[in-house]
Amino acid sequence: MTFKKKTTVALSLIAAMTAGTVFAAPPALPKDGSWGPGAGDANFDAMMQSGFQNKGIATTDRLKQDPTQKLCSNPVLAESPKTAALREKLQAENEASIKYPSDGKWMGDWKNGEKIAQSGRGLTWTDKAGEANGGNCYNCHQISKQELSYGTIGPSLYNYGKLRGNSEEIMKYTWGKIYNAKATNVCSLMPRAGAMGIMTEAQIRDLMALLLDPESPVNK
């Protein structure tokens, strides 16, 4: 029997076996905001811990969630009217974490900013402690027209400065968005680049220049 005939026979058997079978839909999440029986108990936590191991700079400490992560990891509680006050409190705490440039200088070099935006390196077990991390910005945003490969999870940032200008208010807002996006949207998918120590102050300056410098290709 040829490979093609064997495949046809196998598919026919599967079709016959599943004929009339009704596949159940996945169970809905409990309305009380929990993940269901077993989730979050000691056994579940032990399973999570045993499923990962320390390797290089990537350690199991990363499994520990702060209050913002805990809330936003639960799709029921994250949008529940019952947690409105908690969301407001956490957003205020994230806003308070923002550290603006120590010398009052908002922008650095847009060319360095482009390199940072392009780079996805950093924070893996193969990286060394103290090495500069990439921003991986193109993974979620269109930024300059020269780069054709970009993600669409976040909004396009092309012409960011050209459309908004570079007033003190825009500078402060943009810095805060890069430093800790959860200050304006507590469950934002954007990493807290400054607050979590992913980006340095100098790197944030360079990203600011990429977005706001009139000479940046983003604004051409």
26, part of any domain: no
CA dist., res. 192 & res. 179, Å (int): 6
79, part of any domain: no
CA dist., res. 206 & res. 134, Å (int): 12
61, part of any domain: no
Runs of H (alpha helix) within 24-121: 42-50, 67-72, 75-79, 84-96, 110-118
**Domain boundaries, position 150:** 110-219
Coarse DSSP helix, strand, coil percentages of the chain, rounded to the nearest 5 percent: 45, 0, 50
CA dist., res. 205 & res. 113, Å (int): 8
32, part of any domain: no
pLDDT per residue as tens digits for the range 8-45: 555 555 555 555 555 566 667 667 666 666 666 677 77
118, part of any domain: yes
66, part of any domain: no
pLDDT per residue as tens digits for the range 116-131: 999 999 999 999 998 9
Q: Does this model's pTM top 0.75?
A: yes
